[in-house]
Amino acid sequence: MSKYLVLTKNKEFNRVYTKGKYSASRNLVVYALPNNLNAVRIGITTSKKIGNAVTRNRMRRLIRENLRIIDVQIKVGMDIVIVARKAEDTASFHTVKKELRYLLKKLNLIEETDREE
């Protein structure tokens, strides 16, 4: 996986929130907006509502790892913001993988391949 670009500025996040499309599931919300670059820019946010720093960082690591796995399938030229929601139980790797794939497919951000991981 090549290192993807990261959204860092509050202005960039707000632009995706206000002008982009979104889709939500139990643990995640995905916002997407086309950009004029030939690259995918990703931003991951977790609220303090999720839990302590350990829980928030674990959720970010789970999201990042799942993005690494499906990186080659994501369409280029998009700004994507992934927001972790508060969940009653701790999300597992497979739960996050399933929800992330579902939301990205719903927003038409994944190019379908024959290979399923």
Indicate whether 69 pLDDT > 50: yes
Three-state SS sequence of the chain: CCCCEECCCHHHHHHHHHHCEEEECCCEEEEEEECCCCCEEEEEEECHHHCCHHHHHHHHHHHHHHHHHCHHHECCCEEEEEEECCCCCCCCHHHHHHHHHHHHHHCCCECCCCCCC
Q: Select the CATH number that applies to the domain covering 5-106 from these four: 3.30.2320.50, 3.30.360.10, 3.40.50.280, 3.30.230.10.
A: 3.30.230.10
Local confidence band at 1 (pLDDT 50, 70, 90 cut-offs):
very low
Report the range of poorest mean pLDDT among 10-24, 56-70, 101-115. Answer: 101-115
Local confidence band at 44 (pLDDT 50, 70, 90 cut-offs):
very high
User: Can you state the angle between helices 93-106 and 53-69, rounded to 10 degrees?
Assistant: 60
Q: Are the CB atoms for 109 and 76 separated by under 8 Å?
A: no
Token pair for 75: 């369409």
51: left (phi over 0), alpha (psi -120 to 50) or beta: left
Please name the residue that has the structure tokens 């499309």: 21
Q: Once rounded to an integer, what is the mean pLDDT over residues 77-100?
A: 87
Local confidence band at 101 (pLDDT 50, 70, 90 cut-offs):
very high
Q: Once rounded to an integer, what is the mean pLDDT over residues 25-44?
A: 93
